[in-house]
A and B are shown apart, each in its own frame.
Chain A
Amino acid sequence: MWNPIEGASREEIEALQLKRLQDTVTRVYHLVPFYRQKMDELGVKPSDIRQLSDLARLPFTTKQDLRDHYPFGLFATPMDQIVRIHSSSGTTGKPTVVGYTRHDMEVWVEVMARTMAMANIGANDVVHNAYGYGLFTGGLGFHYGAERVGAAVVPSSGGFTKRQLLLMKDFGATAICCTPSFALHLYEVAEEEGYNIKEDFKLKAGFFGAEPASEGLRQAIRDSWGIQYVECYGLSEIIGPGVASLCKEGGLHIFEDHFIAEIIDPDTGEILPDGEEGELVITPVTKQALSLLRYRTKDITSVTRVPCKCGRTMMTMGQIKGRSDDMLIVNGVNVFPSQVEHVLTKVEGTTPNYVIVVDKKGVLDRLEVWVEVDEDTFADGIGALEVLQQKLRAEMLNELYINTKVKLVEPKTLERSMGKAQRIIDKRTALKGEI
């Protein structure tokens, strides 16, 4: 356990949560016009928050609110306090922007250090970090957490599978950070390349997040690499990775002294009791720059407060069962169908008729966008159609930050094959318990 608070009594944790929640509500009420207005509309004053259950009186925050206040409209601190900005894809066109003060960075590094401690990573470890470095919070999030516990970090970033394997072997990586599908892909390539997994590698743990993984996929990673699987849940709007991490006993502990979690009915907004499935709502209570009240994650799961064998008393959450919106996670990257629509309206010569097909190519995800060619857009020439295809591909990459295969299809192809107009076809079976 990195920090004794993780094993504190429920009373202690809840008292800390209440104090921090009260401070947070007071701050945002006075510093963020959006929250002042929302709270005034609901007739709630910061002084009304007297116990934790008063959380229910506070307004929700959605991704759309972040978008409406793009880029810095919800920040509660002036820009001279901001030391880091990250961003993830937004629903249409504009990304979601998050900011961190020096204090926020300290919170993030702390929860990432706790994550590393889930597998006892410390000064004698070499952490190979294959999350993408950049605007995505994965790369730098794991990086600083591993540094904090004293490990040597190899910031290899994503891609270049063969080179990654070489570095992992030569530098003696004892832990790896990447998406679960990339971990399995690495294993497959290692086999193809003739590595001897047991002799050539010293891995003992992996920190996996950014995309959902079935139990089958987890088991395949544990078995193939022979490592402890540490699941890492998080989202950039809250902090990045580090919202919850999986202990050795299988509890996905939410770091509750920083993040208050609730489960609500996504339709009514009502709070559901422990054990019941609903949408996870999180209120970060120690952040300064982006201090959101009751952020709706859209992730469907449940929580329990049963003490864990590992000694941690912090609430655990179940695996993510799905989403209450249409967001897709493709190789760890969030993709919204509306982004695809946005590209199509921008590129001349296309119809807004499209279908998104997500499939597996080996163990990695592959995103295809099928665009209908109708009589108005059908240029009579292979070259013209290929130019259109390339242009769409480039625009998709620009908008989605992901490589897309663009396929031009005949009109009504999908109604014909699916029986109805369906925008998304997810052929991946990973979520259904298979690999």
Chain B
Amino acid sequence: MSKYAVKQLSIFLENRKGRLEEVTYTLFNAKINIRALSLAESAEFGILRLVVDNPEKAKTALSSGGFTVKEQEVFAVEVKDEPGSFHKVVSLLAGQDINVEYTYAFVGTSSMAILIFKVPGHLFEQAIKCLSEGGVKLVKPMFFYG
């Protein structure tokens, strides 16, 4: 496994009232801290994607709470919080024909932003390599799990 592989949990959610709160309550109850999240939705269901401080514990808590959870590997990069940063990372990946399945971001410190990327599994290493060579700072999983 790549040293830059960050464990992300995807949770299948029906679009119904109160369901998201049941997830957040389950995580709160297990004392899980959410480090990054994104929610994708269709008309009838959604997928909540989370990077948390303790993925194993979170997964156990959610599974036993009756949620459908899938663990995925994503990677994260740290960029300056300024125009063009996201573009640069995406360009490097596009230049290598690496398809971004989805991505989301959050502001890390006052001047830096963290971008999370999901690419097809077989292109993972290639993506890490091209970004690293392109001068993009990759974030180690410990940053999230700490």
Report whether A407 and B66 are in contact in the complex, using a CB–CB cutoff of 8 Å: no
User: 1/0 per residue B8-23: CB within 8 Å of A?
Assistant: 0010111000000000
User: 1/0 per residue A368-398: CB within 8 Å of B?
Assistant: 0000011100101110011000000000000
**Complex: A152 Cα to B41 Cα, angstroms:** 53
Report whether A411 and B66 are in contact in the complex, using a CB–CB cutoff of 8 Å: yes
Interface: A410 (CB within 8 A): yes
Report whether A412 and B66 are in contact in the complex, using a CB–CB cutoff of 8 Å: yes
Please name the 5 residue pairs, one residue from A and one from B, whose CB atoms are nearest each other, closest first.
A380-B10, A378-B68, A378-B70, A382-B42, A382-B40
Interface: B69 (CB within 8 A): yes
Report whether A411 and B68 are in contact in the complex, using a CB–CB cutoff of 8 Å: yes
With A373-B12, A382-B42, A385-B42 as contacts: A410 and B68 at CB distance below 8 Å? yes
With A411-B66, A416-B66 as contacts: A378 and B13 at CB distance below 8 Å? no
Report whether B66 and A410 are in contact in the complex, using a CB–CB cutoff of 8 Å: yes
14 contacts between A and B (CB under 8 A): A373-B12, A380-B10, A380-B47, A380-B72, A381-B101, A381-B102, A382-B42, A385-B47, A407-B44, A408-B44, A409-B14, A411-B68, A413-B14, A416-B66
Out of B45, B66, B101, name the residue touching A408 (CB < 8 Å).
Answer: B45
Contact residues on A (Cβ < 8 Å of other chain), bracket = 10 to 19
Out of B41, B70, B118, name the residue touching A382 (CB < 8 Å).
Answer: B41
Interface: B106 (CB within 8 A): no
B contact face: mostly helix, strand, loop, or mixed: strand
**Complex: A374 Cα to B11 Cα, angstroms:** 10
Contact residues on B (Cβ < 8 Å of other chain), bracket = 20 to 34
Interface: B67 (CB within 8 A): yes
What chain A residues lie within 8 Å of B72 (beta carbons)?
A: 380
B43 to chain A, nearest CB (A): 9
With A378-B70, A412-B66 as contacts: A386 and B14 at CB distance below 8 Å? no
A196 to chain B, nearest CB (A): 39
A380-B47, A408-B44, A416-B66 known; 4 new pairs, CB 8 Å cut-off, are: A373-B45, A378-B10, A378-B70, A385-B47
What chain B residues lie within 8 Å of A410 (beta carbons)?
A: 12-14, 66-68
With A373-B12, A410-B12, A410-B13 as contacts: A380 and B70 at CB distance below 8 Å? yes
- In this complex, what residue of A is CB-closest to B49? A380
With A412-B66, A416-B66 as contacts: A378 and B12 at CB distance below 8 Å? yes
What chain A residues lie within 8 Å of B47 (beta carbons)?
A: 380-382, 385
A199 to chain B, nearest CB (A): 42
What chain A residues lie within 8 Å of B44 (beta carbons)?
A: 407-408
B38 to chain A, nearest CB (A): 12
- In this complex, what residue of B is CB-closest to A409? B14
With A380-B47, A382-B47, A410-B14 as contacts: A373 and B42 at CB distance below 8 Å? no
What chain A residues lie within 8 Å of B13 (beta carbons)?
A: 410
- In this complex, what residue of B is CB-closest to A377? B68
What chain B residues lie within 8 Å of A409 (beta carbons)?
A: 14
**Complex: A381 Cα to B119 Cα, angstroms:** 12
Report whether A373 and B66 are in contact in the complex, using a CB–CB cutoff of 8 Å: no
Of A382, A410, A416, most buried by chain B (CB within 10 Å of CB) is: A410
**Complex: A382 Cα to B48 Cα, angstroms:** 11
A417 to chain B, nearest CB (A): 10
- In this complex, what residue of B is CB-closest to A408? B45
What chain A residues lie within 8 Å of B12 (beta carbons)?
A: 373, 378, 385, 408, 410
User: 1/0 per residue B40-78: CB within 8 Å of A?
Assistant: 111011010100000000000001001111101000000
- In this complex, what residue of A is CB-closest to B9? A380
**Complex: A37 Cα to B84 Cα, angstroms:** 83
A20 to chain B, nearest CB (A): 56
- In this complex, what residue of A is CB-closest to B102? A381
**Complex: A412 Cα to B69 Cα, angstroms:** 14
What chain B residues lie within 8 Å of A373 (beta carbons)?
A: 12, 45, 68
What chain B residues lie within 8 Å of A380 (beta carbons)?
A: 10, 47, 49, 70, 72, 118
Report whether A375 and B42 are in contact in the complex, using a CB–CB cutoff of 8 Å: no
Out of A375, A386, A413, name the residue touching B69 (CB < 8 Å).
Answer: A375
